[in-house]
Chains A and B, each alone.
Chain A
Amino acid sequence: METYQRNSRNRQSVLLDELPLAMAYVPMQRWGNLYSPEEGFQRATIFRDLDFPFHGKGGCRR
């Protein structure tokens, strides 16, 4: 299957140091770094950036 893999133009990152202190932030997702549709279907997300398998403890990435 053909895959359409184009990243959004706006994929540069923001430095944490530049942000005001004592605020909570959720980084905005950016398009790109995708699995193929077939692999995404198996992994239950097409976004590699959002693929956090559960291993019984938090904060880890496979």
Chain B
Amino acid sequence: MRYQKKELLNYINVVSFAVVEANLYLDTHPNDEAAIEYFNNYQRARNQALREYANAFGPLNLDTAVINREFIWADQSWPWQLEG
């Protein structure tokens, strides 16, 4: 495991913010190569981190929710719940 739960959640927040910033910039500069490269890089990092988080601590969103035989979303602790 690369990160503990809290660090991984913080990392997801940080890269998500970076992706949204690039997204807003691209709204008005749709062909900016440097911004596109930045967006692609941090979107990839975000998706990867969301998958890692889902595998270790349960999904944060529908895209990374994996249901095998039972839907356990409601039984997992919430991301903002402090353990112990």
Q: Is A40 an interface position by the 8 A CB rule?
A: yes
Q: Which one, A8, A28, A40, contacts B21 given CB within 8 A?
A: A40
Interface of B is mostly: helix
- Contact residues, B2-22 vs A (CB, 8 A): 11, 13-15, 17-18, 21-22
- Total inter-chain residue pairs, C-beta < 8 Å: 53
Q: Is B34 an interface position by the 8 A CB rule?
A: yes
Contact A41 B13, CB 8 Å, known A31-B25, A31-B32, A46-B21: yes
Tally chain B residues at the interface, Cβ within 8 Å: 20
* B14, chain A: closest CB distance, angstroms: 5
The interface of chain A, by Cβ under 8 A from chain B, is 1-2, 4, 6-9, 28-29, 31-32, 34, 37-38, 40-41, 45-47
The interface of chain B, by Cβ under 8 A from chain A, is 11, 13-15, 17-18, 21-22, 25, 28-29, 32-35, 37-38, 41-42, 45
